[in-house]
A and B are shown apart, each in its own frame.
Chain A
Amino acid sequence: MSSIAVSILSWPAFDALLRGRMIANERVRLMLSWIAWQGLCAAVFGLSLGVYSISSRAEPDYRFMLADVVKMPMLLFLTSAVTCPSLYVFGALRGLRFSAREFAAMLMVAHTILAAVLGSLAPVIAFFAVTTTSYSFMVVLTVVACAIAGILGVRTFIKAINEPPDDVQSSPVADTNGETNSTESPGMFSRPAHVNQNIWRMLGWWVVLYVFVGAQMGWILRPFIGSPELPFIFFRGKGGSMIESLLYHLHKLFGA
């Protein structure tokens, strides 16, 4: 039993992924590993989110931490489940060659990166949770952490989409007019020559949809940090919106 867990939580695979040395069919083959790693990293981030409700309250409430450990992986998995079908249909329709399984694997890889970044920021969150009393500051800090992780995750995803097909990869001298590209270092979101403009535009719209779904999903799964005035609850339920709340907290922090 434990050997299965070890092989799924394979460190070399995770390490190779972070270093950007992942090949397309490996991505699909190691799907379970990505799911396991993103769940683990997200749970670590959840732990750090729960620190605030322990440090900020007169009576420490550990239930937030337990809930966050479950809810952070849930946030990632549910977001993938909601956005994956439209990604496949729109991607296929726009002429991307990947199968549904490959799209799912790309999303899982992107989410693993996202979760890894979040997990690496967990000590930062925990540090501020212990030292600050401002709830608004914690909210804004968490949103910023998620935004950074999201940008890096989406970047990986776009990179994976842009990978040239295998036949192009095997012959690196394929593009003979190599005076402009090849020597340029790739930018953060640069588009290689063989990616169609149409696909690029479609991806942009899908990323907007993805961000919207992710934000909304995070909102219905709240509370993560837990306002010190409110008692513990697993879900707060409907009402309000992410943007409204963020603006409110920004105003509280920086407003007069």
Chain B
Amino acid sequence: MAAAGLSAKPPVLPGFDVWWKGIAAFLHTGGKRGSEWLALPPCAPVVLIVVCGGFYGAVMASYNGFEGSRALMVFYGAVKVPLLFLATMLTAVPSFYVLNLLLGVGDDFRAVWRGLTDYQMLVALQLMALAPVTALVNFTHGDYRTAQAWSTLMFAVAGWNARRSLHASYAPLIARNHVHQRLSQVWFVLYAFIGVQMGWDLRPFVGTPEMPVQFFRDHIGNAYIEIYRVLQTFFYEFVNRFSVR
């Protein structure tokens, strides 16, 4: 039918089963792209990150329901989670690339970049799988703090679990040059450090019922300082409760 050169090229829009096979192989190997992946178009990682991340974002933002302007919040959620991933990558990658260059492994960066994309993709896939649970928590808990804490916890779990993919893609690199071992750890710390602040900058994701629907909150602030304040308040309350007057 088609010429040999043409048939070797992956179709532009592969069917669902092709996608499923690629994703299943990716998961079963602990976050490595197998031969099944070749059937997917080159933009497949981006598509998966946007679709899965967006889906989770929409579920997370559905806490306040879908009435009126709250439906807009669901849409914002779907846009903002991929945006969070993208912005974190774009912020963290330049410094990481320079560090790779300085440590003399700049030539491996193509493989490293692929590993970083795989990591991101695995985070998105896990969030997609956890979306039904988050939907249940959002639906059943009247309490905003619980919904917020749950969503944050899911991000932490997915991010922590996805290190598996990072290990898988870094293993051959580490075998070649041991400096990659340290670099993969540096990436994880850098990514988490920037990701937390980025998540804070891009809030609201769940949306307090008392505050209006906004794409971004007006006050930006610093996530770490805010966390410190929350802990401080918590500590004082704790001390006050148990201290004898």
Contacts and interface: CB of A to CB of B under 8 A. Distances in A.
B125 interface: yes
B24 A86 contact: no
A97 interface: yes
Contact of B24 (A83, A100, A213, A220): A100
Interface stretch (B97-105, B135-143, B231-239): B135-143
Interface in A203-230: 209, 213, 216-217, 219-220
Interface in B181-223: none
Interface string A73-100: 0000000011101101110111101011
Given A99-B24, A220-B139, A238-B141, A90 B129 contact: yes
Given A89-B27, A216-B140, A238-B142, A82 B132 contact: yes
A216 B137 contact: yes
Given A213-B136, A220-B140, A86 B28 contact: no
Given A92-B24, A238-B142, A82 B128 contact: no
**In the complex, which range does the number of interface residues on chain A fall in?**
20 to 34
B34 interface: no
B31 A238 contact: no
Given A92-B27, A97-B28, A100-B24, A219 B129 contact: no
A93 B24 contact: no
A92 B129 CA distance: 12
B15 to A, nearest CB: 17
Interface of B is mostly: helix
B30 interface: yes
A85 B128 contact: yes
Contacts of B114: none
Contacts of B126: 86, 89-90, 93
What size tier do the contact residues of chain B reach? 20 to 34
Nearest to A217: B136
Contacts of A86: 126, 129-130, 132-133
A90 B161 contact: yes
Interface string B7-49: 0000000000000000010011011000000000000000000
A187 interface: no
A239 interface: yes
A93 B161 contact: yes
Nearest to B130: A86
Contacts of A238: 139-142
Contact of A219 (B30, B122, B135, B140): B140
A85 B142 contact: no
Interface in A90-117: 90, 92-95, 97, 99-100
Nearest to B158: A89
Interface string B119-131: 0001001101111
A97 B30 CA distance: 11
A92 B34 CA distance: 14
A238 B199 CA distance: 28
B31 A93 contact: yes
Nearest to B131: A85
Given A83-B133, A216-B136, A239 B161 contact: no
Interface of B: 24, 27-28, 30-31, 122, 125-126, 128-133, 135-137, 139-142, 161, 164
Interface of A: 81-83, 85-86, 88-90, 92-95, 97, 99-100, 209, 213, 216-217, 219-220, 238-239
13 contacts: A82-B135, A85-B128, A85-B130, A85-B132, A89-B126, A89-B128, A89-B129, A90-B126, A92-B28, A97-B28, A216-B137, A238-B142, A239-B142
Given A81-B132, A86-B129, A220-B139, 10 more contacts: A82-B136, A85-B129, A86-B126, A86-B130, A89-B126, A90-B129, A90-B161, A94-B30, A100-B24, A238-B140
The 6 A-B residue pairs whose C-beta atoms are closest, nearest first, are A92-B27, A89-B129, A85-B129, A82-B132, A86-B129, A92-B28
